[in-house]
Amino acid sequence: MTTTLPTYFISHGGGPWPYMEEMRPMMRVLAESLADMPRQIGVTPKAVLCISAHWEESAFTAMSSPQPPMLYDYGGFPPHTYKVVYPAPGAPELAQRVVDLVAAAGLPARLDPHRGFDHGTFSPLVVMYPQADVPVLQLSLKTGLDPAIHLALGRALAPLRDEGVLIVGSGLSYHNLRMFGPAARAPSKAFDDWLQDTVAAAPAEREARLLAWAGAPSARLAHPREEHLIPLMVAVGAAFNDPATCVYHEDAMYGGVTASSFRFDTKA
C-alpha cells in the first residue's frame, strides 16, 4: 500500500540556533514542533526535499552531490557554528527525478553538484532527524519569487509524495530583520491571522489568496522581501486539495513575533 506523505511549510528559526545552547530556550516551542514531525509522518521518508528560503537561482536548481557540503550562510554567530556538520547523505538520483518533473511542467530546471546545505535546511533537519540517517537534498527558489510559478513548482513535485519523498518548504511566516521584538507584535499577528485563515480555506480560494498575499494585512511589514514566504507556495502547490493543520504556533518568538508552521495532508 502506497503512503502519500504530507507536505510542510515550516518556520525554521534563526541561523544555526540548534547548535547554540544560549538560543535553545527561546526556540523551545519551535524545537518541539520540529522534533514531533517524524511521529506525525508515521514512516521514515526515503528522502527529504527541502525548498529553502536561502537559495535562489534563475532556474529551479536541485542539489545533486552524494555528500553535500555545508554552507554557513550567516554572520555574527559563535566560531563553533562555522564548523558544524550535518552529515546527511545527498540523493543524486532523486535530484535528477526532481529536475525531470520540473522540466516536464515547462519550468526551467537544472542540477548543481556543488551546492551545500544552508541553514534553512540543516538547522531544522538536525532537530527532525538528528542521526542524519535520511537522505536530504535542496531545491532552489526561482529568482523573481513569483507566487504562481512556485505554486506550479509544487504541483510538478506532487508525484514525489507517493514515492516516499517528504517535501518541506523552509522559511519563516514572519521575516523582517529590522522589526523583531515588541515592535513585531502587531504586524506579525495581523499577518499570521490572515495566513491562518488563508491556509484553512478551500483549495481554490487558498491559492487565490496566496497569489494576492501582498495585499494581506501588514504583508510588507511581515515580509519586506518575500523569500521566506515563497516556500509556502511550493508546499501548498504539492498539497493539491489537502487541508492544512497548524503544527507550530507561538506569539513570543524573538520577544514578540507571532510565527507558525503548517502540515498539509488528508489526515488534517
Q: Please report whether residue 69 resides in a domain.
A: yes
pLDDT value at residue 218: 96
Burial label for 193, CB within 10 Å (0-12, 13-18, 19+), is middle
pTM (whole model) above 0.95: yes
Q: Please report whether residue 53 resides in a domain.
A: yes
pLDDT value at residue 260: 96
Look-up of cell digits 531544522: 124
8 conformational bin, left if phi > 0, alpha if psi -120 to 50, beta if neither = beta
Q: Is the pLDDT of residue 268 over 70?
A: no
Q: Please report whether residue 52 resides in a domain.
A: yes
Higher per-residue confidence, 14 vs 32: 32
| Residue 134 to residue 151: CA distance in whole angstroms | 26
Q: Which domain holds residue 106?
A: 7-264
**Tens digits of residue pLDDT in 75-108:** 999 999 999 999 999 999 999 999 999 999 999 9
Q: Please report whether residue 252 resides in a domain.
A: yes
Q: Please report whether residue 72 resides in a domain.
A: yes
Across residues 201-230, what is the average pLDDT? Answer: 96
Q: Please report whether residue 219 resides in a domain.
A: yes
**Count of structural domains, the chain:** 1
- Give the model's confidence band at 181: pLDDT under 50 very low, under 70 low, under 90 confident, else very high: confident
Q: Residue 216 corresponds to which amino acid?
A: A
pLDDT value at residue 180: 85
Q: What is the CATH number of the domain that holds 99?
A: 3.40.830.10
Q: Please report whether residue 22 resides in a domain.
A: yes
Q: Is the pLDDT of residue 1 over 80?
A: no
pLDDT value at residue 38: 97
Q: Is the pLDDT of residue 267 over 80?
A: no
| Residue 61 to residue 125: CA distance in whole angstroms | 20
**Tens digits of residue pLDDT in 107-137:** 999 999 999 999 999 999 999 999 999 999 9
Across residues 167-188, what is the average pLDDT? Answer: 91
| Residue 14 to residue 37: CA distance in whole angstroms | 19
- Give the model's confidence band at 46: pLDDT under 50 very low, under 70 low, under 90 confident, else very high: very high
Widest Cα–Cα separation across the chain: 50
Contact 24, 31 (CB under 8 A): yes
Q: Please report whether residue 2 resides in a domain.
A: no
Structure-block grid coordinates of residue 228: 521566506
Pick from 85, 177, 65, 184: which is nearest to 125 by CA? 85
Look-up of cell digits 488534517: 268
Q: Residue 190 corresponds to which amino acid?
A: A
